[in-house]
Amino acid sequence: MTIAFTEIADRVYVLRQPMLDVNVTLVLGDAEALVVDTLSTAAQAAELVAAVRVLTPAPLTVVNTHHHFDHCFGNATVAADQQRPVYAHQATADLLREHTAACRREAYDEMLPADPGLAAELARTTILAPSHVVRQESTVDIGGRPVVLRHLGRGHTEGDLVVQVPDADVLVAGDLIEESGPPAFEDAYPLEWVETVAALLRLVTPGTVVVPGHGAVVGQDFIQVQHDDLATMSWLIRSGDADRAPAERVAARTPFDPEAGLTAVRRGYAELRGDA
């Protein structure tokens, strides 16, 4: 199956990889380009580069929205193009550089039950850590076109980055926002996530196109609903902790499906204990 980019704004394109429905964003400048996220394996990343080359021969700068395998394990293949820079938050870079084996093992264990073939590919994948770190905010010039990288706070992970293309009114949110499934809380910070999405909302106008980590592009109304759901969940977690309620009981009342809700409550309780 051939994968291809779709233009969502002026010289901004999105590719939806069918496996895991993960998004890659391509921003074109004058004789330079930027790719946000690089998919899961060398093979997927090679297909991604081929799709990019249909649109541009320009050298590529890479941004990772966070450290999960489906967003960054293709770095070595994509950034091999003239040894281009790879940007990420400091926490993401540290995880991929200092805990490479653990990141690979986590990816393998996650995918093995559902897709042993992909798990085997992940086990063989060379992980390239980011070369350029972002702590709070950085602006990258892509051939005369500014792209802003922001860490708005912890949420889906410790090192979430959002990518803003101001002249096109596009925001790439990574897995801070998901459209094709519920938020994933396995190593999240549920109590802080709501504040991070509130900060994201302050960057969004009624006309802003928001690229989620997974699924179709969304807008302001979708972000507001997800913020409100996270706020409800945060209140339930704090209330449940005060009442010493079992996580299972609190999870049944969250706006998310029971599995996601239970993971969120357990992570939220860990946050309140200082263990997350």
pLDDT band at 156 (very low <50, low <70, confident <90, very high): very high
pLDDT per residue as tens digits for the range 187-222: 999 999 999 999 999 999 999 999 999 999 999 999
User: Which CA distances in Å does 54 have to 11, 78, 81?
Assistant: 13, 15, 15
In a domain, 215, yes or no: yes
Question: Which pLDDT score is estimated for 275?
Answer: 83
Q: What is the CATH number of the domain that holds 56?
A: 3.60.15.10
In a domain, 64, yes or no: yes
In a domain, 258, yes or no: yes
In a domain, 11, yes or no: yes
pLDDT per residue as tens digits for the range 79-109: 986 578 999 999 999 999 999 999 999 999 9
In a domain, 113, yes or no: yes
Number of domains in the chain: 1
The residue segments making up the domain with residue 104 are 6-273
In a domain, 1, yes or no: no
201 contacts 220 by C-beta, under 8 angstroms: yes
Question: Do the strands 6-9 and 132-134 form a parallel or antiparallel pair, or are they unpaired?
Answer: unpaired
Question: Which pLDDT score is estimated for 64?
Answer: 98
